Amino acid sequence: MPELRLEELSAKNIVAANTLTLKPGQEQFIAPVSYSMASPFIDPSTNWSRVVVDEDDEVVAFLMANFDYDAQEPEFRSCIWRMNVAADAQGRGVGRFAVESTADEARKRQFTQLTVIWEPGDDGPEAFFLRVGFTVVGQTQYGEHIGSMDL
């Protein structure tokens, strides 16, 4: 596994974070409908965003989580909101590192669960999320899967 570290989102890395290229067919899985619908009601101050940087100082992933003890829906209280790994960095453990880092941050904030919502489908992230420790605990009204991991 490459040497990876987290960096806060900053002027230095935000362009790289915004221009990560995914593999063909993956773009449709970036933002599940439930997140788009909930976005206006999410308090920006509860947002935790980071980039993952590799040993060559390249930005290889972007991740965003929401940590809000008071969110009305339980699945939005401690949850991965975005996770994109650059196409040429996929399959090397970057996604696993991003999930584990987010789980660490959630633990620090005293959460006992981490959740994520994804759309099932070919080219989607379901197999990845199940592999790194999430189990499907429900479905949204849009048919997306709600995954949860005990911390």
Ligand X SMILES: CC(C)(COP(=O)(O)OP(=O)(O)OC[C@H]1O[C@@H](n2cnc3c(N)ncnc32)[C@H](O)[C@@H]1OP(=O)(O)O)[C@@H](O)C(=O)NCCC(=O)NCCS
Using CB under 6 A, which of 2, 47, 49, 128 touches ligand X?
128
- As a whole number of angstroms, the distance between CA 135 and CA 60 comes to 26
| Complex with ligand X: residue 11 or 57, whichever CB lies closer | 57
Examine residue 91 and tell whether it contacts ligand X (CB under 6 A). yes
Nearer to ligand X, 37 or 110 (CB): 37
Q: What's the closest the beta carbon of residue 116 comes to ligand X, in angstroms?
A: 6
Please report how close the Cβ of residue 92 comes to ligand X at its closest, in angstroms. 5
Shortest separation between residue 37's beta carbon and ligand X, angstroms: 15
- Give me the least distance between CB of 7 and ligand X, in Å please: 17
Segment lying near ligand X (by CB under 6 A), choices 67-75, 91-99, 100-108, 138-146 = 91-99
Sheet with 135-139, side-by-side order of all strands:
5-8, 47-53, 59-67, 78-85, 113-118, 145-150, 135-139
Residues of this chain, 24-83, that bind ligand X according to CB under 6 A: 26, 29-30, 83
Contacts to ligand X by CB under 6 A: 22, 26, 29-30, 83-85, 90-96, 116, 118, 125, 127-128, 131-132
